[in-house]
Amino acid sequence: MENTPERLTGKPSWLLTQLSVHAHRLATEAFTGAGARGYHYRVLAALDEFGTASQADLGRRCNMDRSDVVATVTALQERGFVDRAQDPKDRRRNTVTLTEPGKAQLDRLDEALDQAQDDLLAPLPEPDRRTLTRLLGTLLAHHQR
């Protein structure tokens, strides 16, 4: 950053944008190494935490477009990570359920993403990592209102 104007390096928005590029690259490399994509992680994590869901609910929970949810669920279903079935209460809806192989894949993705987080935050001691995460969560919650 020594060749970057101080006007930029002193602005949190600029720093966050620059860091976002590195964070995205690290996460993408981690998921690719585990044979997955970020959308796969989002869907598997949502199913693990909240249980069986409709594709529409997954889209809302994972902040994904409907077509991306369909493509992601199809890819996960082809690999046996989720089951998709017609909702018996509403035949227009599909419900998606995490399978045991899907849970195992989520565990692998958690490990890969944890390593990416460690790489991203390498210069920070653990207390600073927790503080940074808390502060970023506070900012995000404020701006999502």
User: Is 124 within 8 Å of 132 (Cβ atoms)?
Assistant: yes
Phi, psi angles (nearest 5°) of residue 20: -60, -40
Amino acid code (one letter) for 92: R
User: Taking phi first (over 0 means left), then psi (-120 to 50 degrees means alpha), and beta for anything else, what does residue 52 get?
Assistant: beta
Domain boundaries, the chain: 36-114
Q: What are phi and psi of 67, to 5 degrees?
A: -65, -35
Structural fold of domain 36-114: Arc Repressor Mutant, subunit A (1.10.10)
Taking only the tens place, the pLDDT of each residue in 72-104 is: 999 999 999 999 998 888 888 899 999 999 999
pLDDT computed for residue 88 by the predictor: 84
Whether the model pTM is above 0.85:
yes
Per the CB < 8 A criterion, the answer to whether 121 and 113 are in contact is no
Confidence bin at 2 (pLDDT 50/70/90): confident
